[in-house]
Structure 1
Amino acid sequence: MSAAPEAKYTEETVLWIKHHTPKLITFAITRPESYRFSAGQFSRLGLREGNGFIWRAYSVMSAEYADTLEYFAVLVENGPMSARLAALQSGDTVLLDKNATGFLLPGRFPDGKDLVMLCTGSGIAPFLSILEQPEIWQRFDSLVLAHSVSYADELIFTRRIAALQTHPLVGGYFGKLTFLPVLTRERTAGALNQRLPELLASGALAAAAGRPFTPQNTRFMICGNPAMVKDTFQTLFDMGFSMHRNRIPGQIMMENGF
């Protein structure tokens, strides 16, 4: 990808980086005072590579009002950007495109009582940002977050989600949230054990959420690997749900994870 013109990006400093597993990392960079985004959007981050640049999109994991910008990355074997991120250290420089983008925004739904967020891997990042916004808790009667990964050690945000109970802005609404961990390659107590499309089709996900999923009340946001996004959308479509469009309101919004 060609480099963005210099006027379109800023140089930011890596504040910290944490390796959760050999392929899962989270990190934070400085945030310019002028940088604005809506919870659910993504940033374009760049690194210098020889005479050029490498640019990739990463969903912002931190709250809209946070002083820093946090991201979650799944390192891909032999990936040029992944190799650089794996070696990243605090104090290093990262390029930040000045404009955030993306349309995975719950405010686009004009109605609905229950918001169900379905994700795999790094697709959880935008939902972690969304869950730190008070208006989302005030808007919906219930929130469901289902995070599907292969193995239990990849469920790295369980404590972060539990900590929302004492969050100064959203903690009072915590009882509205149901967190559903999903494992596809091993079994452990407290986790569901099929792919998200199958859990939807069988009714197991709705049962675990403790409420029926209906076109009248339920709104779905999907983010993750393209195969999951495609299959989950098709399953919901077969169940009577439709894509949300600006001129034709529906019940589904989706985005491939970064």
Structure 2
Amino acid sequence: MTDTLAVAEKPAKPSPYHEAEVLWVKHWTDQLFSFGLSRAEDFRFRSGEFVMIGLPTEGGKPLVRAYSVASPFWAEELEFFSIKVADGPLTSRLQKIQPGDTVLVGKKPTGTLVLDALTGGERLHLIGTGTGLAPWLSVAREPETYSRFGRVIVTHTVRKAEDLAYRAFFEGGIHEDPLIGDEARAQLTYYPTVTREPFHNAGRITDRIRSGDYFRDLGLEEGFDPAKDRVMLCGSMAMIKETAELLEGYGMREGSNAEPGDFVLERAFVG
């Protein structure tokens, strides 16, 4: 008589993603949109971090990419700001989502665009291009930002004025925020620039920094001061690399989660 050994099935491997419900979608232009997702009760992140989000595919691995979380750590929902790419593997589908649809959200947020990666200072410059504004939407609604820095400057460089998504929010809406509204009204400055059409702040942010216009417009002494200024960078690789070189020229040191410094950039996006 032969004994038959029962082979226990291996437990299913936990998914690295939460299934989040689409709560709302806002199309800013034919190239930019934002959307809100439900937030799992156990999802925790620091303001400024990014997470993998995406959509399932038929019979294969989900299609995902890294997105900065645009909502602050305390918000009940997760907000994201995205570009639309007609032939993009993910964004060609993601731009068509509707309330009630499901989007996958990675369970492990990470990133260096966080306050923990900076040493103390007096002024915080949040410099972004395009959808690189997303982490600033989170950091600018973080109470610790205003307790650590006396002045917070959000810059947003785009090609056309219509691309200044969230302009109304930074020019007034944030002042009504129940948690940090009063602090933002007193301490936050919004500095938009447009590169391809007439605008009161015209040109690339790096050009305005080099010419000194950036500092004059803000009523600051020309140049970044390593003793006072702290900077975060997010957006195009060209802008990030160019600005990082400028900052190093002023004697500023790049920081990280392991070793905080004078400025930080997101190397996961830079490559």
TM band (smaller chain): over 0.9
Gaps of 5+ in 2: 1-12
Q: Equivalent residue of 2:266, what SS?
A: strand
Q: 1:151 to 1:237 in 2, by over 3 A?
A: same
TM-score (norm 2): 0.88
Amino acid at match of 2:123: D
Is structure 2 residue 36 aligned with structure 1 residue 25? no
Aligned to 2:20: 12
Q: 1:248 to 1:135 in 2, by over 3 A?
A: closer
Aligned to 1:45: 53
Aligned residue pairs total 252
Is structure 2 residue 81 aligned with structure 1 residue 72? yes
1:130-176 superposed Cα distances (whole Å, 9 cap, x missing partner): 11111111110111111000000001111212212122221221221
C-alpha distance in structure 1 between counterparts of 2:232 and 2:266, whole Å? 8
Aligned to 2:232: 221
Amino acid at match of 1:92: D
TM-score (norm 1): 0.92
Aligned to 1:177: 188
Question: Which structure has the larger Rg?
Answer: 2
Select which of 196, 201, 207 maps to 2:205. 196
Aligned to 1:207: 216
Q: Which moved more, 1:26-35 or 1:87-96?
A: 87-96
Contact 1:117 1:146 (C-alpha < 8 Å) held by counterparts = yes
Percent identity, please: 36
C-alpha distance in structure 1 between counterparts of 2:97 and 2:77, whole Å? 17
Amino acid at match of 1:42: F
C-alpha distance in structure 2 between counterparts of 1:166 and 1:10, whole Å? 31
Q: Which moved more, 1:118-127 or 1:246-255?
A: 246-255
C-alpha distance in structure 2 between counterparts of 1:18 and 1:245, whole Å? 33
1:9-47 superposed Cα distances (whole Å, 9 cap, x missing partner): 121111111111011000011100000010000121121
Q: What does residue range 122-201 of structure 1 map to in structure 2 within 5 Å?
A: 122-161=131-170, 162-173=172-183, 174-189=185-200, 192-201=201-210
Aligned to 1:253: 264
1:93-126 superposed Cα distances (whole Å, 9 cap, x missing partner): 1111111111111232221111001000111111
Is structure 2 residue 250 aligned with structure 1 residue 242? no
Is structure 2 residue 122 aligned with structure 1 residue 113? yes
Amino acid at match of 2:132: G
Q: Equivalent residue of 2:15, what SS?
A: helix
C-alpha distance in structure 2 between counterparts of 1:110 and 1:242, whole Å? 10
Amino acid at match of 1:116: H
Q: 1:130 to 1:246 in 2, by over 3 A?
A: closer
Q: 1:67 to 1:248 in 2, by over 3 A?
A: closer
C-alpha distance in structure 1 between counterparts of 2:38 and 2:261, whole Å? 37
C-alpha distance in structure 2 between counterparts of 1:250 and 1:186, whole Å? 36
Question: What CA RMSD, in Å, does the superposition of the two structures yield over aligned residues?
Answer: 1.7
Q: Equivalent residue of 1:80, what SS?
A: coil
Q: CA deviation at 1:6?
A: 4.3
Q: 1:80 to 1:32 in 2, by over 3 A?
A: same
Q: Which moved more, 1:139-148 or 1:204-213?
A: 204-213
Q: 1:15 to 1:186 in 2, by over 3 A?
A: same
1:42-62 superposed Cα distances (whole Å, 9 cap, x missing partner): 121121122221011111111
Contact 1:224 1:255 (C-alpha < 8 Å) held by counterparts = no
Q: CA deviation at 1:244?
A: 2.1
Contact 1:11 1:93 (C-alpha < 8 Å) held by counterparts = yes
Gaps of 5+ in 1: none
